[in-house]
Amino acid sequence: MSKVSRKTTDPKIVDQKTVNANATNPRWIALQVLLRVIEHGRSLDDVFRSDWFLSLPAEKRDLALCREITFGLCRWYFALSAVLTQRLQKPLRARDRDIEIVLLIGLYQILIMQTGAHAAVNETVKLALAQKKKWASGLVNAVLRAVLRENLALDASADAQAYPRWMREKIQTDWVGQSEAILRAGNRRPPLTLRVDTREIDVEKQLGELNASGIEARGHGEVDGAILLDSACDVAELPGFDEGRISVQDAAAQLAAQLLDCEPGARVLDACAAPGGKTIHLLQRYPEIELDALDSSASRLDRLRQNLERIGHSAQILVGDAAVTDDWYQGRQYDAILVDVPCSASGVVRRHPDIKLLRRESDIMPLRAQQAKILDALWPVLKPGGRMLYSTCSIFKEENKIQVAEFLQRHPDAVEISLQAAWGESRPHGRQILPGSSNMDGFYYALLTRLDES
């Protein structure tokens, strides 16, 4: 039941007549989104930015309910699947994955959203009927009513059960004594975190504008320029967003620009830059730098260009693989390099719960190899005396402190600069922020400098 497949093509899920009849139904839309994630390996962000989703005629409140169901079900998929498995006489067939998801949507409404019994059952039965599988309506009705009769509630073990087994065990191995808190934090809803361009407006003034607009906001406390909103909203409607004064960025990610500490006129590379949150922050914090933004994805770089236009800054955009410098490097070494490498994203599951469904244990070793290859390739393009900031949104030690330790062994001219800070935990190499710590996502940073051998 909990095995998630991965296909290579987008689903042709239903005929156009069915689409037209259900295109404003938030539960039906959620089902189609979840099929694209669970069956076809697409991220929630990718689906929500797709032409299909953006063309839906549903109202904002219906799309908000769709997001609640899709994000929430990804967050609790494995725990809810265990509940469902115990209540089925036999597993559903692979071709009936849609009915499995329908049942999970019903369980999510009952056990997590605490939707009224009548609405939860009736709307979920209608959802099964919309899939043109009449036999499924009786099954859905029976399972959901049985759960209601049992007065079932998820117990304390659900936080651990809400992860795929391999991820749960890896966290428990890496963080003995802290794993329970990490697993729990990864299942909690994150705040919406904003970053203020403090060169344009101070935090207190921005807070005043938000509060005057009826938006409850407060300063982060530990990260300068960070603001927390407890309730989600349309960020495009926030005062200062269109002008580039505020951007959406987790507080942990905001530390990157501060740690790189660029001098005026410095030549800076943001490797693996798209979609550009850290690029934008670097330019706003250090407007006099010369910045190259590199990424292998041309489509993701389009989003970076849009963000640059919004804030009114410019950068040289390079399309290329950070690990293959011959394809893009122009021969001038950099004073500073931000290396925010591709990683397991195990530190941001509270914000991107679909990671639990999309990431595989078999992905970790290739990611480790890619990270090492990127670090080794970029090291020669850093000037002697320059600074390289290695960053991941992972909490797995092999992607973080172990990766840096192995890099230092391979490069005798590399020296680590100790990071002294109130945030995170000091590791043998670098600092680790664990999910939920000071209302931040899980992040890792290590700062390196290159010796001048002359």
Catalytic residue among 66, 74, 272, 393: 393
Kindly state the tokens that stand for 98.
């849609």
Q: Are residues 362 and 272 in the same domain?
A: yes
Q: pLDDT, tens digit, for every residue of 395-438? A: 999 999 999 999 999 999 999 999 999 999 999 999 999 999 99
Q: Are residues 241 and 299 in the same domain?
A: no
Going by their DSSP bridges, the two strands 267-271 and 246-248 should be labelled as unpaired
Q: Is the residue at 93 inside a domain?
A: yes
Q: Are residues 102 and 123 in the same domain?
A: yes
Q: Are residues 278 and 401 in the same domain?
A: yes
Q: Is the residue at 182 inside a domain?
A: no
Measured CA to CA in angstroms, residue 373 lies from 29, 110, 173, 450 at distances of 41, 47, 26, 17
Q: Is the residue at 30 inside a domain?
A: yes
Q: Are residues 142 and 268 in the same domain?
A: no
Kindly state the tokens that stand for 32.
């189609």
- Of 233, 248, 263, the residue that ends a domain is 248
Kindly state the tokens that stand for 407.
């890099």
- Cα–Cα distance measured from residue 116 to residue 310, given in angstroms and rounded to the nearest whole number: 43
Share of the chain above pLDDT 90, in %: 90
Q: Are residues 216 and 287 in the same domain?
A: no
* Closest to 340 in 3D by CA, of 315, 375, 364: 375
Domain ranges, residue 200: 192-248
What angle do helix axes 117-130 and 97-108 make, rounded to 10 degrees?
170
The residues pairing with 193 across neighbouring beta strands, listed in sequence order, are 228
Fill in the DSSP letter of residue 262: P
CATH number for position 334? 3.40.50.150
Q: pLDDT, tens digit, for every residue of 304-317? A: 999 899 988 999 99
For CA atoms 33, 37, 39, 40, give the dihedral sign.
Answer: positive
Query: Is the link from the previous residue into 57 a cis peptide, with omega within 30 of 0?
Result: no
Kindly state the tokens that stand for 358.
């999309």
* Closest to 87 in 3D by CA, of 102, 73, 103, 71: 103
Going by their DSSP bridges, the two strands 290-295 and 316-319 should be labelled as parallel
CATH number for position 118? 1.10.940.10
- Of 143, 160, 177, the residue that ends a domain is 160
Q: Are residues 264 and 132 in the same domain?
A: no
Residue 393 catalytic? Answer: yes
Looking at the structure of the chain, the number of domains it has is: 3
Q: Are residues 202 and 275 in the same domain?
A: no
Fill in the DSSP letter of residue 275: T
- Of 111, 139, 160, the residue that ends a domain is 160
Q: pLDDT, tens digit, for every residue of 110-165? A: 999 999 999 999 999 999 999 999 999 999 999 999 999 999 999 989 999 999 99
Average pLDDT, the chain: 94
Q: Are residues 259 and 241 in the same domain?
A: no
The pLDDT of residue 14 is 57
The pLDDT of residue 8 is 44
Q: Is the residue at 2 inside a domain?
A: no
Q: Other CB atoms closer than 10 Å to residue 409's CB: what's the count?
A: 9
Q: pLDDT, tens digit, for every residue of 364-390? A: 999 999 999 999 999 999 999 999 999
